[in-house]
Amino acid sequence: MGLGGSSLAAAGQDSTEFDTELHNGAFLGFALGATRADVSVRSDSSLDASGWSGGGRSMVGKIGFALERRALLAFEYSVWRNPGQDDTLPEEETRYLGLGALTVSFFPDLGGFYLRGGMGYGRLFARLDGATADSNGLAAILGMGHEWRIDESMSISAQVDAAFLDASGISASLTQFMVHATMYFETGD
């Protein structure tokens, strides 16, 4: 799941002039990216496998509001899916991970750079060698990125996240590289 604030500097704006005053009100965002998942299966799982690694595509949706000018709170839902079309997994086998999390993005005084983290709940589904596992558990997200303002209400950001999920005998860690587009709905001062 990925997730966090986003922006592209207006033409001629120096990144050191990033204006957190524009973080004022609600926002809505969407992201696409690539993800690497590493999954380990413990002996108490229903899957007869030791684990796997693989790449896939990710999508993230987020909605939130500014807690204050340098801190954004969001609910995010991130989906990663690998439908078994890489070299390590037959096409009829599937891996899916979904994470819903409450995240906070903090913008220190470093232009558009931000740090983020959050906690939530995730679901991991896997079909391997005819066996199926469908598990839920707690998830955590840590990340960082850089936001560039396009204008007062739109931004683009590049972000990298590490997400962790522990679900009924299966543990997963994901590394996500995402590009976000965010629209801000400012409420005034």
pLDDT at 135: 80
pTM equals: 0.77
Structural domain that includes position 82 = 15-186
In a domain, 3, yes or no: no
In a domain, 155, yes or no: yes
Q: How many domains does the chain have?
A: 1
Each of the 189 residues of the chain gets a pLDDT tens digit; together they read 333 443 333 333 444 456 767 788 899 999 999 888 787 776 555 555 556 667 778 899 999 999 988 899 999 998 887 665 444 555 556 677 888 999 999 999 778 899 999 999 988 877 666 666 778 889 999 999 999 989 888 999 999 999 998 877 778 888 989 999 999 987 655
pLDDT at 2: 38
Residue 160 sits in a domain whose CATH number is 2.40.160.20
Buried b (16+ CB within 10 A) or exposed e, 102-131: ebbbbbeeebbebebbbebebbbbbbbeee
pLDDT at 74: 96
In a domain, 7, yes or no: no
pLDDT at 37: 79
In a domain, 4, yes or no: no
